[in-house]
A and B are shown apart, each in its own frame.
Chain A
Amino acid sequence: MTTITARVLSPIRVLTAGLLVAMGVSLATPANAASGYPINKPREVDWSFSGPFGTYDKAQLQRGLKIYTEVCAACHSMNLLFYRNLADLGYTDEQIKNYAAEYEVTDGPNDDGEMFERPARATDRFKGPYLNVKEAAYANNGALPPDFSLLAKARAPERGFPTFIFDIFTMYAENGADYIYSLLVGYQEPPEGVEVSEGLHYNPYFVAGSALAMAQPLYEESVEYDDGTVASLDQQAKDISAFMMWAADPNLPQRKQRGFIVVLFLLGFAGLLYATKKKVWANVPH
């Protein structure tokens, strides 16, 4: 029996390894493999939402919302989210209603056939700073500020071989949050001999070049936290990155809980089937 198992296993191992490589390859293909950006790999942060039991830190998300509201929302929209989604952050219906009411949205047409402005409700989508992408690009010298809804998933610098294989086992899926964090703390003076064009800002963590159009958005104490947390640049960068991860993947904690149950169940089921199979095949040479 043992020899049989061994014989069966070895080609399986070979094939599995091969498949893992082949599957991983798709991840190893970043936005800019050819040109070698980002210059620095993202710094890896220890997030509350990493790992099999990962979940969001609501206090952190609330701090992140504050940064988004007071800093980022001046240029960046977040079209896929509704105000009602803020319930995930631990806000009450009343708080959400008040938060939404700060924004005026266009509704209508009314019975007179005219569009009208009214305070936003929980059921409205987050109001963006610009009417449309053309206005957004025009207001920013042609550099369109990307929408925040999925940004934490839409930015994933190359992990490279063999890291992308280890990522399967370490369950690493925080590339986007790490990237955003690194970018926000990564602004610096360009090194000697590096020319940065007018209107661009040097950042070795930027995925598509050595400099980007967005100037450094966060500094020490850019916002004042309600919960007394010291608003260091590092803290703010982490909070907004976590917030953006939540925006991109609000169901993450629920997904991981479900996954834990499903995988555990299937392994147990497999154990039972293995025992059953052994019993069924006990007297059958094969």
Chain B
Amino acid sequence: MSSNEEGATRRDFLYIATGAAAAVAAGGVVWPLVAQMAPNDREKAAGAPQEIDVSSIEPGMVVTVVWRGKPYFIRHLTEEEVAAAADASQDIFRDFETTDIRLSAAGEGDDTGKSWAVMAANCTHLGCVPSKVEPDGDNLLDGWVCPCHGSKFDVTGRVTKGPAAINLPLPPYRFASAESLVIGEA
């Protein structure tokens, strides 16, 4: 009887080991099939930090650049716009952040970054590209309005009207010099 039981144990072990190996094999098959879906090396390399010459962007101008296949706004704010954004009441924002955070790209020990708003150009609601709101008299605060569902953002990309609930995200960026903005690394 005991030898029978021993045989049974050994057989169970064999079956379990074989089953486990089959499970490993299945995993080994599935993993590459899933892994290949990730962005490939070319895509990743193209996502490397990118230098943009901003010397020709005058205050009040916006350029849209593409980094990692997605658009980003680079907006050179006028002094009035910076002041309007800094003085605005906290209550009108749905996701308040200070302008210090929004205009954070300090250059090396100077104020170069303080008049530059750099932000993702896809609305945080469902990804449409917001349009620029042209300055209108004393309303210097309104920056963008989304054509899809009417979300509004101030000049620094802070949401003031839904359905978007959060601000336009900031990419990592810094000024390599007064003329050269680097997107992709802080």
Contacts and interface: CB of A to CB of B under 8 A. Distances in A.
A122 B25 contact: no
Question: For chain A, what secondary structure do more than half of its interface residues adopt (helix, strand, loop), or is it mixed?
Answer: helix
A272 B14 CA distance: 7
A269 B21 contact: yes
Contacts of B25: 265-266, 269
A269 B22 contact: yes
A273 B18 contact: yes
Given A262-B28, A265-B25, A269-B25, A82 B18 contact: no
Interface in A241-286: 262, 265-266, 268-269, 272-273, 275-276, 279
Contacts of A276: 14-15, 18
Contacts of B28: 262, 265
B45 A84 contact: yes
Interface in B3-37: 11, 14-15, 17-18, 21-22, 24-25, 28
Contact of B45 (A82, A262, A268, A272): A82
A92 interface: no
Contacts of A84: 41, 45
Interface string B153-180: 0000000000000000000000000000
Contacts of B21: 265, 268-269, 272
A279 B48 contact: no
Nearest to A277: B18
B42 interface: yes
B24 A82 contact: no
Interface in B45-79: 45-46, 48
A84 B44 CA distance: 11
Nearest to A261: B28
A93 to B, nearest CB: 9
Question: Which 7 A-B pairs rank lowest in CB-CB distance, beginning with the nearest?
Answer: A272-B18, A269-B21, A123-B45, A276-B18, A84-B45, A272-B21, A272-B17
Interface of B: 11, 14-15, 17-18, 21-22, 24-25, 28, 41-42, 45-46, 48
Contact of B24 (A122, A123, A265, A273): A265
Interface of A: 82, 84, 122-123, 262, 265-266, 268-269, 272-273, 275-276, 279
Given A265-B25, A268-B21, A269-B21, A122 B48 contact: yes
Contacts of A266: 25
A123 B18 CA distance: 46
Given A265-B24, A265-B25, A123 B48 contact: yes
A266 B17 CA distance: 13
A279 B41 CA distance: 48
30 contacts: A82-B42, A84-B41, A122-B45, A122-B48, A123-B42, A123-B45, A123-B46, A123-B48, A262-B28, A265-B21, A265-B24, A265-B25, A265-B28, A266-B25, A268-B21, A269-B18, A269-B21, A269-B22, A269-B25, A272-B14, A272-B17, A272-B21, A273-B18, A275-B14, A275-B18, A276-B14, A276-B15, A276-B18, A279-B11, A279-B14
Contacts of A273: 18
B62 to A, nearest CB: 13
A74 B9 CA distance: 71
B181 to A, nearest CB: 16
B30 to A, nearest CB: 14
A276 B41 CA distance: 43
A268 B21 CA distance: 9
A279 B11 CA distance: 8
A229 to B, nearest CB: 30
Nearest to B32: A258
B105 to A, nearest CB: 22
